Amino acid sequence: MEQQYRPLLRRMEIADILDGVFRIYRHNFGVILGISAILYVPLAILNAALMVPYAQMLVSIPGDEVPWEALTAVGGLGLLLLVAYVVLVPLGYGAITVAVSERYLGRPATITGAYRAVLSQWHKYILTSLLVGLVIGGATLVGLVLCILPGIAVACLLGVWFLFFTPIIACEGRWSTDAMRRSKDLVDGHWWRIFGTWLLVGLIRGAVSFALAAPVQLGAMGLVFAVGEVPAQVVGQSLGTLVQMFVDPIMSIAIVLMYYDQRIRKEAFDLEVMAQEIGGGKYAPLPALAAPAAPLFAPPQEKLPPPSEPADYEPVEPAAEPPAEDTGPETPPLSWRSEDESPPLDEDNDTA
């Protein structure tokens, strides 16, 4: 029988969010990794195909003729890879967001179910992602033209403001400028705390990525002497892309947890979930958030079976109540007169 977990939603500090990220990833590793693989395996294949002509161009002897065939292949494959990133990355991040949100709220999540939910509104993810990228990129470029520091400040400001647009699309159905405005409303008043959490998760993600990618790159460098420079670069680039398949869900999970934390802080989302449960809502298995004094993902409490009756138990019927005594017709109350008053005469007797 599958264990039941009950999500106990509450405000989370930075340590709680970090703990929740890795616990959700660990408890749902197969689903999250499967979703991420559908995103990154095609990208790794395209990267490998692009690296073949690109590496040939890099190792060409200076002074030789320009390798036009390789240059054309690089341009075509580079454009195809760009389109793949624009289309696949928003959909992949959206599917991870859907799966993590479902598990966080206590509902079952599957790879096909997550992608089915995302593909039903695929245009919202792609167009909103492009819009957010253009706004942040354009504002950052203007800031960099003025000075480096304003450009970095603008990128951080807008990046945190629009951090929740993917969970908003997945959970609320809003998109485009509506999702961007909604994300900014959730962030307002908590920008520095969200920025600090986002920065810390990014540093942890970068450290994990470096720890996984460094041996891969060292191995690819060793292949240069065995199979040549071009195959070694192809293998190194492909494996580097696959490393991101394991690492990128860390940030997506953190963003989902921060999104729900903001809704709890500003909109009492935890009370909304409790009201839904009281109204008959049910929650599926979930390694859920526990109370502050307990572990973040507390195991469920087993339900005790109802007490069994002994084999020789015989129920005792209650004794029947004795019938009430017949006291004759009730005498009407005489509260209508005092002691010195006489009853009113009957009209027929008075006439007689």
Residue 349 lies in a domain: no
Residue 47 lies in a domain: yes
Residue 36 lies in a domain: yes
Residue 192 lies in a domain: yes
* pLDDT higher at 10 or 147: 10
Residue 115 lies in a domain: yes
**Cα separation, 238 vs 140, whole angstroms:** 30
Residue 27 lies in a domain: yes
The mean-pLDDT minimum among 5-14, 49-58, 237-246, 270-279 falls in: 270-279
**In the numeric block, which tokens belong to residue 185?**
């409303």
| Structural contact between residues 44 and 307, judged by C-beta atoms closer than 8 angstroms | no
- Count Cα atoms within 13 angstroms, Cβ side, for 229: 8
**In the numeric block, which tokens belong to residue 165?**
């647009």
Task: State the total domains in the chain.
Answer: 1
**In the numeric block, which tokens belong to residue 83?**
């389109």
Residue 326 has pLDDT above 90, yes or no: no
Residues 11-67: tens digit of each pLDDT = 888 888 998 899 899 889 999 999 999 999 998 888 888 877 776 676 665 555 656
Pick from 70-74, 113-117, 237-241 the range whose average pLDDT is largest: 113-117
> Under 8 Å CB-to-CB from 39, ≥6 apart: which residues?
88, 89, 91, 92, 93, 95, 245
Residues 294-318: tens digit of each pLDDT = 333 444 445 555 555 555 556 556 6
Residue 65 lies in a domain: yes
The region, left, alpha or beta by phi > 0 then psi within -120 to 50, assigned to residue 322 is beta
**Cα separation, 162 vs 128, whole angstroms:** 10
pLDDT of residue 268: 76
* pLDDT higher at 307 or 151: 151
**pLDDT-above-90 percentage for the chain:** 34
pLDDT of residue 322: 63
| Structural contact between residues 131 and 90, judged by C-beta atoms closer than 8 angstroms | no
Residue 242 lies in a domain: yes
pTM above 0.95, yes or no: no
Average pLDDT, the chain: 77
- At 272, which amino acid appears? E
Domain that holds residue 44: 14-127+188-274
- Count Cα atoms within 13 angstroms, Cβ side, for 350: 5
Angle at 261 between CA 256 and CA 265, to 5 degrees: 150
